[in-house]
Amino acid sequence: MRSRTYQNSYAGLVALSSQPTVWVWAAIGILALAMMPALFGSFGLNMLTAIFVASIGVLGLNLLSGVAGQISLGHAGFLLIGAYAQAILTTDYKVPTLIAIFLSGLVAAIASLVVGIPSLRLKGLYLAITTLAFTFIVRHVVLYADSITRGSAGMPVDALSVFGFSLKGDVRFYYAALVMLLLFVLITLNLMRSRMGRAWLALRDHDIAARAMGIDLMRYKLLAFMVSAFYTGVAGAMMALQTRFINVDTFSILISIEALAMIIVGGMGRIHGAILGAALIIILPELLSLGFTAAGDRFKTLMADRIYEVKGMMYGIVILLFLRLEPEGLAGIWRKLKRFWVQWPLSK
Amino acid sequence: MNYFMNLVMSGLVIGSLYGMVAMGFAIIYRATGMVNFAQGEVMMLIAYMSYTFATIPGMTFVPLMVCVLTASIALGLLIEWAFIRPMLGEPMFSRVMVTIGLAVVIRSVVILIWGVEPTAFPRPFGNEVIRFGEMALYPGQIFALVSLAVLSLAMWLFFRRSRVGIAMRATSNNETTALLMGINVKRISAIAWALSAVFAAFSGLAFCLMFSLEPEISQMGLRGFPATILGGLDSVVGGALGGLVIGVVENLAGGYLGRGLKEIAGFVLIIIVLMVKPYGLFGQREIERV
């Protein structure tokens, strides 16, 4: 039975994982996820894929808001930039789809400097409002630059293919999304144990103290914005590849709120929290629609007519409930459960 | 020249709406140090409630105002009591997220109850254009301009002369000291929320009198942010002025530079302003002590 972690060297503290058993469990988890296509039909697989893609973006938002402490209400903007970059690069410039994914992330990262640079002087709420303004501006630019973006008509997106091997179809794209998510989880874990991750934590907890300890605030704030936008841009590109068609209307302010709901539900600043939060927020509307269908025809039509409002209300209620009852989110519940289990019967 | 004057005038009218929204943001920021992201949605809810009041047969303007103001004060107090007060002492991020959660909930509830179709709001002042020399204004537009003028004068006096206003300034300056001086800080926060709901009522009514009753009212909350930031988050009267400036700038940008720019001109302006003056034009610089 695993109990406490005792470390007697610095290398042990910053190791990717302190326990060999974690690797075993991770391998079992990945294997289970790889078996999923055998269990689920295309509906379930698509939902899992959507969860993986959203998790990539939420990991990015989590790095910025949860780890570096900079509130952003503008991630819908980065997602939009990523999705459009993917569509434009592959159809107009014939860039290979796999390379385009990372280029889209890069484009979003460069765009993030537009909000990153004001963030050097702004704090807290002023910054939140600036990022909100950013989403507005991006949406309008995309709508009015219709010679590049096709305006309000939207754009079709080429399917993903890797070295000539097409990853079209639910099962193949599921594996692509899974690999992508694993890649980004690994990147995040490594970022968190490097100087950069620790600098971000210091920045969040007390920026003046961090500065006094030799952390270049300007550099790390901009880096936080760029890395976070990169993740979100990649998520946007993956989203475009999944839906195969993009339109500005998909990327409303509600997406930014959805993303914030995901990190709050999951637990701020936690990697597994981001994934759990994304999963819960994506599965909830489906559960709700099942419940409404069971409740009778009247509710079923309500769900069909007002899906946007019902979803919005649900996000709002979930945010309010978690903030009031479990501020640590699902990651906190998980931690408490684990402690209960490990320390039983002495746990309280 | 006439084109220019017309743009400025309609800019001032729409700007007075932004100004009232901005005052609603600023008073809450002033008293509690947080931004109420649900301001636009509160405005929407009050506008729909006032539609219900206004369609009662025999309702004239004065009783309507009394009903609407009473309802909005009650609403402001209710929100403060049920959602904001329990979050006291939590980190700022959680407190702001509560208002964001509240915003989506209110918006959805209003649409689920009243639907999305735009409805014509009753016009208690008629629909005749009133002329002042060159200028021609609708009664709804005059209502917006007059409300902004009255409200900002009232706020200026409130913060200068009234006991509660001075107590509110003290609270925003230093909450602990204000508490030690015998100011009831909880009541101050409740009053701020009630006042912000009153601003929401005026701006919501003005919107309905100028356009129609539609869910887009809640967008005014977002559109009012540039005004709030330009005036400085903690300056109530500055917010009113910021609203007028943003309204005129938006209209001029839309009129001379192209339609698409109208909607984002305000946001572009504040990103530039914030790079130069991070606390807006009239906001107080926050001094940090280590």
> pLDDT by residue (tens digit) across B152-173?
999 989 988 899 888 888 888 7
Burial of A94 (0-12, 13-18, 19+ CB in 10 A): exposed
pLDDT at residue B117, as a whole number: 83
pLDDT of B253 reads 87
**Which residue of B87, B112, B271 is in closest CB contact with A118?**
B271
Q: Kindly state the percentage of chain A with pLDDT values over 90.
A: 14
Nearest to B97 among A114, A126, A319 (CB): A319
Per the CB < 8 Å rule, is B270 touching A122? no
What is the pLDDT of chain B when averaged over all its residues?
Answer: 85
Min Cα distance B164 → chain A (Å) is: 26
- Do B96 and A71 contact (CB within 8 A), yes or no? yes
> Over 60: is that where the pLDDT of A3 sits?
no
Percentage of residues of chain B with pLDDT beyond 70: 96
Sole residue written with tokens 């193949």: A172
pLDDT of res. A56: 92
CA neighbours closer than 13 Å in the CB half-sphere of residue B237: 11
- Lowest-pLDDT range of A42-56, A331-345, B53-67, B274-288: B274-288
Minimal CA–CA distance to B110: which of A136, A306, A292? A306
pLDDT of residue A183: 92
Q: What is the pLDDT of residue A234?
A: 94
Q: What is the pLDDT of residue A324?
A: 84
Residues of chain B that touch chain A, judged by Cβ-Cβ distance less than 8 Å: 29, 34-35, 83, 86-87, 90, 92-94, 96-98, 100-105, 107-109, 111-112, 222, 225-226, 228-229, 233, 260, 263-264, 267-268, 270-271, 274-275, 278-279, 286, 288, 290
pLDDT at B36: 87
pLDDT at position B55, please? 84
Q: Which of A213, A140, A92, A208 is nearest to B290 (CA)?
A: A208
Q: How confident is the model at residue B289 (pLDDT cuts 50, 70, 90)?
A: low
Which of B18, B85, B88, B97 is the best substitution to test chain A (most A C-beta atoms within 10 A)? B97
Q: Which of residues 199-238 of A touch B (CB under 8 A)?
A: 208-209, 212
| Averaged pLDDT, A191-210 | 88
Taking 60 as the threshold, does the pLDDT of residue B195 lie above it? yes
Determine, for residues B100 and A126 on separate chains, whether the beta-carbon distance falls below 8 Å: no
In chain A, what is the straight-line distance between the N-terminal and C-terminal CA atoms, in Å?
19
B100·A257 Cβ contact <8 A: yes
pLDDT of res. A113 = 86
Residue A337 pLDDT greater than 60, yes or no = yes
pLDDT at A320 over 70: yes
**Partner-chain contact B270 A130, CB within 8 Å:** yes
Say what the pTM is. Answer: 0.84
Mean pLDDT over each residue of chain A, to the nearest integer: 84
CA angle, corner A249, sides to A174 and A51, nearest 5? 25
Count of beta carbons in the 10 Å neighbourhood of residue A4:
5
Q: Which residue has the tokens 């507005």?
A: A136
The answer on pLDDT for B28 being more than 60 is yes
Residues 6+ apart with CB under 8 A from A195: none
- Return the exposure string of A183-206: e unless at least 16 CB atoms fall within 10 Å of the residue's CB, then b: ebbeebeebbeeebbbbbbbbbee
In sequence order, the 6+-apart residues with CB closer than 8 A to the CB of A197 are: A67, A191
Place B196 in a pLDDT band, splitting at 50, 70 and 90. Answer: very high
Q: Model confidence over B89-126: pLDDT tens digits?
A: 777 778 888 888 898 899 888 988 888 888 888 877 77
Mean pLDDT computed over A7-18: 76
Of the segments A50-64, A149-163, A252-266, B264-278, which one has the largest average pLDDT value? A50-64
CA dihedral A329, A332, A337, A341 (to 10 degrees): 170
Angle, CA A22 vertex, CA A269 and CA A67 arms, to 5°: 10
Mean pLDDT throughout B125-138? 75
Q: Report whether B11 contacts B265 (CB < 8 A).
A: no
pLDDT band at A4 (very low <50, low <70, confident <90, very high): low
What confidence score (pLDDT) does residue A313 get? 84
Record: contact A128-B94, CB cut-off 8 A: no
pLDDT at position A107, please? 93
B100 and A121 in contact by Cβ < 8 A? no
CB–CB contact B98 A254 (8 Å): no
pLDDT of residue A104: 92
| Nearest-by-Cβ selection for B278 from A122, A134, A140 | A122
Which residue in chain A is spatially nearest to B230 when comparing CA positions?
A: A126
pLDDT in tens, A123-138: 667 777 778 888 888 8
Which of A125, A213, A260, A284 has the highest number of chain B CBs within 10 A, making it the mutation to test binding with B?
Answer: A125
A144 touches chain B (CB under 8 A): yes
Of residues A345 and A202, more confidently modeled: A202
pLDDT-derived band at B286 (thresholds 50, 70, 90) equals low
Token pair belonging to B243: 């609203």
Whole-angstrom Cα distance, residue B29 to residue B86? Answer: 17
Report A:151-210 residues touching B (Cβ under 8 A).
208-209
Q: Across residues A154-161, what is the average pLDDT?
A: 78
Pairing of strands A245-246, A155-156: antiparallel
Q: Which of A158-167, A299-308, B79-88, B193-202 has the highest mean pLDDT?
A: B193-202
Which pLDDT belongs to residue B90? Answer: 77
pLDDT of residue B191: 92
Sole residue written with tokens 């070295």: A163
